[in-house]
Amino acid sequence: MSEIKRIGVLTGGGDCPGINAVIRAVTKTAIFDHGWHVLGIEDGFLGLIENRTRPLARHDVGNILTRGGTILGTSNKADPSRFAVERDKAGNAVFEDVREKAAAHYRAHQLDALVVIGGDGTMSCAHAMAPLDVRCVGVPKTIDNDLMHTHITFGFQTAVEIGTEAIDRVHTTATSHHRILVVELMGRNAGWLTLHAGLAGGADIILIPEIPYDLGKLCEFCKERMGKGRTSTIIAVAEGAAPAGGKPVVDRTIVDSPEPIRYGGVGHQLQRQLEMCSGFEARSVVLGHTLRGGTPCAADRVLATRLGHKAIGLLASGKTGQLVVVQHGQLSSVPISEVANQQRRVPTDHDLIRAARAVGTCFGD
């Protein structure tokens, strides 16, 4: 690999706490340690397709460590391999492969490599750009914590804190009114966020996509609790959870997105079902994008800084096509090809599930 002089940085997929901390670490490490020029690409791969960029200097990334979101913007629809260029007369999206257009902008800015911050969808886009000689290093970002080969992604720990606090808060109102209270969390079809927040928040029932639930067993569990004098039942449910033999509740389908299926609504559905079959009053709360917003926790700020610094270290050593990962507490890297189009889900024999069952938590199975 030739000597690096100019790099780009972009953030793709959904936003999450800690992205700005990575941008800061990438930019300052590149400038201070190596004397490289850094170009910020706006709105993920969409900015590379549309040629929307801006230089990043040290003052551009000052005081952004604590800010949520991303100063560069992001997009979860801009897949260069399958980009919606227009709509036909029937309103259907017309897709084209615009990778060469994106690569031309990469070359026009004389970039030597890209630091791509994102989840599995973003890494799939980065992997697809490799044949066009667009060199990338990835940084794992998702509140879902579902990227393959990394034990943790930045943004996850903050989302767990937010989810835990929300569950903590509904305990008091559920107890006051003797209710079943259902809290729906994000995570797509991986249950890491709901499992961690549910366990930390003391949820009585935790429902995750990896373990199909039985509505009858949930009703019996709630009635048994109330029959023993318990004044409430708290349920943490992942948006992708589904009953045995059934499918997750789909909120909507976005055809021009690399991830078209958007889950949502299982919390409200469970509230109605449990109210009818148990005879107890029930309410539901959907945390939704609350889990993505706000200031990153200290642990995510530290992790994001380490990951950004490591990404520049990989480039400096001539390594591209790699994703920075955390394995057994240590930073390492794996080929982006090994995480593209894949998802890390919760093993049903995971020690957290065993620990939760041991303290009486119901998983609906």
Cα 286 to Cα 87: distance, rounded to the nearest angstrom: 33
Cα 273 to Cα 267: distance, rounded to the nearest angstrom: 10
C-alpha distance from residue 227 to each of 51, 195, 275 (Å):
63, 26, 15
Residues 6+ apart with CB under 8 A from 223: 278, 279, 280
Cα 244 to Cα 48: distance, rounded to the nearest angstrom: 43
Amino acid at 59: H
In sequence order, the β-bridge partners of residue 137 are 115, 322
Cα 269 to Cα 248: distance, rounded to the nearest angstrom: 11
Say if residue 52 is exposed, middle or buried (CB neighbours under 10 Å; 0-12, 13-18, 19+).
Answer: middle
Distance, C-alpha 322 to centroid of its chain? 19
Asked whether the beta carbons of 10 and 47 are under 8 A apart, the reply is: yes
Cα 169 to Cα 167: distance, rounded to the nearest angstrom: 5
Find the helix or strand (DSSP H, E) in which 93 lies: strand 93-96
From the list 120, 144, 204, 300, the catalytic residue is 144
Task: Identify the three-state secondary structure at position 204.
Answer: coil
In sequence order, the β-bridge partners of residue 117 are 11, 139
Find, among 261, 307, 255, the residue nearest to 142 by Cα.
Answer: 307
Please confirm, yes or no, whether 146 is among the known catalytic residues: no
**Residues labelled as active-site residues:** 144
